Amino acid sequence: MPPALQRGSSLGARLLVDLLALVAFSFVLFALLNSVAGRPEELLVTSDPSIREADLVRFVDEGGRDRSIAHRYICWWIGRSDHGERCAYWPSHGLLSGDLGWSKVHQRPVVELLRSRLVATLSITLPAFALGLLVALGLGLEAMARRKGVVAMAASALPVVVGGVPVHWLCLTALLVFALWAEVLPSGGSGGLSHLVLPVLVLTAIHAGRWVRHVRHSVGMVLESELALAMRARGIEERVVRRRALLNAIAPLLVIVSASVPSMFGGAVVVERVFSLPGMGMLIFESIRNDDRAVATVVLCLYACITLVAMGGLDILVRSLDPRSTKEELA
């Protein structure tokens, strides 16, 4: 088999495995949210004991809640065969047609809710991701150049602080310093760009603390390698040697950064909660607290999809950066 065709078949097999994993996760999640949180008709009777039996029967029939979990799960994907009232778990046309259902709490289509909340989350996660990478590269390189300076101490202390202090404590510390004491930044909300500074600052510190240690280690290994010694022996400037070390250290760093994509959204959940930012983190918290199962199912499945895509991209990145994996695959 030609190498290109074999690589294509390997990629197709990976996509198939990821798709099956997403379907299995969504089914387990759907079944848990339909079983663990209690039956909706029981919750309805508890909240309104005066409800009539005829209304309760209509509520169960329209939502298909007398059907099996598997039947409701299939209808959740492909839509309902009837044309009854809109219910939480059976979108009129199914997920495959883009109908994600209806939020009973926000009284809006789930797709519109996701669109507005996803923009708010990306407005803090993407800048923090990019800034964290730049800070990690800068601190790591400077720490290797001046191993006994202030920057080296900061590069050593940042991973310890980020790894040992909970995320909500970092958020509260930032609020205390910049919003209460200095009074230079707002404490939260989504009124403008100034409201995004503190969330981005906290997420940047988290990402930089996770990556600076890897940058320092990778660059240090290259600077102490035989290649760097040979370049110095030939009279090449130290600036050129460091640049070469950075290029050689980029490959493992990209793998680590790609593996951090799923946790990028996980850390945003706590940050959005503390800073009252109406993003995906607040949405999943509100949906679980208020038993908005349509929103909770879709958001958690979206997180699972992002994780699978990130892991698939990581696998492709490793294969492209490491020629040995390609040779072993084609052997």
Q: CATH code at 241?
A: 1.10.3720.10
- Can you state the angle between helices 293-321 and 280-289, rounded to 10 degrees? 140
More confident residue, 101 or 300: 300
Specify whether 143 is located in the same domain as 126. Answer: yes
Specify whether 203 is located in the same domain as 275. Answer: yes
What is the four-CA torsion angle of 325, 327, 329, 331, rounded to 10 degrees? -150
Specify whether 229 is located in the same domain as 143. Answer: yes
Half-sphere exposure of 239 (CA within 13 A, CB side): 0
pLDDT digits (tens, 9 = 90+) for 146-194: 777 787 788 888 888 887 888 889 899 999 999 889 888 888 777 778 8
Specify whether 256 is located in the same domain as 118. Answer: yes
Specify whether 280 is located in the same domain as 145. Answer: yes
Specify whether 37 is located in the same domain as 62. Answer: yes
How far out from the chain centre does Cα 182 lie?
Answer: 32
Specify whether 173 is located in the same domain as 225. Answer: yes
Specify whether 83 is located in the same domain as 187. Answer: no
The whole-number average pLDDT for the span 51-75 is 63
Sorting pLDDT into bands at 50, 70 and 90, what band is 242? Answer: confident
Sorting pLDDT into bands at 50, 70 and 90, what band is 93? Answer: low
Note down the domain range covering 153.
111-330
Specify whether 80 is located in the same domain as 125. Answer: no
Specify whether 137 is located in the same domain as 101. Answer: no
Specify whether 38 is located in the same domain as 117. Answer: no
Evaluate if pTM is beyond 0.85. Answer: no
Residues 6+ apart with CB under 8 A from 329: 6, 7, 10, 319
The overall average pLDDT reported for the chain is 77
pLDDT at 45: 47
Contact of 123 with 189, CB cutoff 8 Å? no
User: How many folded domains does the chain comprise?
Assistant: 2
**Domain end point (choices 107, 130, 163):** 107
How far out from the chain centre does Cα 255 lie?
Answer: 16
Sorting pLDDT into bands at 50, 70 and 90, what band is 83? Answer: very low
Half-sphere exposure of 79 (CA within 13 A, CB side): 10
The answer on pLDDT for 40 being more than 60 is no
Helices and strands: H and E segment counts in the chain? 14, 2
**Domain end point (choices 79, 107, 135):** 107
**Domain end point (choices 107, 130, 147):** 107
The whole-number average pLDDT for the span 300-324 is 77
Contact of 281 with 268, CB cutoff 8 Å? yes
Specify whether 197 is located in the same domain as 262. Answer: yes
Q: Rounded distance, CA 201 to CA 12, Å?
A: 39
Contact of 157 with 165, CB cutoff 8 Å? no
Residue with tokens 């200095």: 182
